A and B are shown apart, each in its own frame.
Chain A
């Protein structure tokens, strides 16, 4: 079946099998391999992308359920060759170690900041509760999200 949707701002049309998941189409058909598959059952959050602005596990969404929707992957965060404030903050704060969780972590944080530009620490921790990181212990990730919120807030002011 033909899947028509928007990926990182670009309209795409892809022939897909009904059982294909969104992550399969993003990685294998559209070569957007920034989105990672970890557990494949919604536990680890490595596959997190935005669908109409909300964080979802791309391993639990059938590709055809994205029809007509706007999907944003980690590749869609940078604008005009410049990294998003969140990506810069992750680098600055050392919030990345092995990097496998980072794309999902960034997208969960992005979803949070889209709806809540000035989150509290508990709100940040709740937003990334569905993203497992085995390296950092989360502290630097939380700091990076706080830093990005401040930067973005300053940019808006």
Chain B
């Protein structure tokens, strides 16, 4: 008789015990919006489900001197509404409020995007541009931090091993001069509930006096198997003053990055326009009335 076990650890200690026994047929369950579909597609009837959603202490956003910590059980709906996130990490709030539908946002959480390594994952480029790190717990009770590039390595591929669980994400606390924005474009009949066909996150350090971009991190999602930062766009912005010409140059630079990535594949050509539009939109958001 095939059997699927369901474990519901209530504490990190209990989770550690569950992880110690984890194998290749162990599934970590967060909000379930990806996993429940996959379990059905694959007809999974044996193995172990570890439900992370009951683990105490992982449902908060908190800040210390250096980091903003987002627990693994903070839903996108909570993230989008959180005052600290809205004030200090606008691109993260913008990303969270654009994930799926209200129903999805009420259940889904950041770790799923990372662990599933979907090329269309909304959170990945945002977390990449924010230089976020995932906190990973294993069956020994040890916790380690991995950056997004250290974690997400390909379509559906990560460096997570059986018995490792993402229990939170931390993001460096922004300095006074940081500005950020996130946007995505999806295709389909609907304007709101879309899976990203192209997403862009801009995280800048900008000094309004003397009008200079002191630092820039630019990440593209859904433009390649894995989200990536654009060195060309970052170099272009670094040290520059925001002008309409700079916005156009940024749009062209990102278009070039996407073109190099997608090559001649016909069904991807719309991404060239998508990225230009997104770049201009986000630039306008970041510097409205200042250029």
Q: Does A18 contact B (CB under 8 A)?
A: yes
**What is the number of contacts between chain A and chain B, taking CB atoms within 8 Å?**
84
Say yes or no: is A121 at the interface (Cβ < 8 Å to chain B). no
Determine how close the nearest CB of chain A comes to the CB of B246; give it in whole angstroms: 32
Residues of A within 8 A of B31 (CB): 60
Q: In angstroms, how far is the closest chain B Cβ from the Cβ of A130? A: 2
At the interface with chain A, which of B43-51, B126-134, B172-180, B221-229?
Answer: B43-51
CA distance A127 to B39 in the complex (A): 28
Quick check: is A96 within 8 A (CB to CB) of the other chain? no
Does B37 touch A at the CB level, under 8 Å? yes
Q: Is the CB of B192 within 8 A of A62?
A: no
Contacts of A61 in B (CB 8 A): 32, 36, 107
What is the CA–CA distance of A1 and B192 in the complex, to the nearest angstrom?
38
Q: Find the residue from A18, A111, A112 having the highest chain B CB count within 10 A.
A: A18
Q: A41-B37, A42-B37 are in contact. Are A62 and B49 (CB under 8 A)?
A: yes
Interface pair B49/A130, CB less than 8 Å apart? no
Q: Which residues of A contact B39 (CB under 8 A)?
A: 19
Q: Which B residues fall within an 8 A CB radius of A? A: 4-6, 8, 29, 31-33, 36-37, 39-40, 44-45, 49, 51, 53, 77, 100-104, 106-107, 190, 192-193
- Chain A positions within 8 Å of B, measured between CB atoms, are 1, 17-19, 21, 40-43, 45, 48, 51, 54-57, 59-62, 64-65, 67, 108, 111-112, 125-127, 129-131
30 A-B contacts (beta carbon < 8 Å): A18-B4, A18-B5, A18-B6, A19-B44, A40-B37, A42-B100, A42-B103, A45-B103, A56-B103, A56-B107, A57-B103, A57-B107, A59-B36, A60-B32, A60-B33, A60-B36, A60-B37, A61-B32, A62-B29, A62-B51, A64-B51, A65-B51, A108-B102, A127-B102, A129-B101, A129-B102, A129-B193, A130-B100, A130-B102, A131-B101
Q: A42-B100, A130-B102 are in contact. List 18 more A-B contacts (CB 8 A).
A: A17-B4, A18-B49, A42-B33, A42-B103, A42-B104, A45-B103, A51-B106, A54-B106, A55-B102, A55-B106, A57-B104, A57-B107, A59-B36, A62-B29, A62-B32, A65-B29, A129-B101, A130-B193
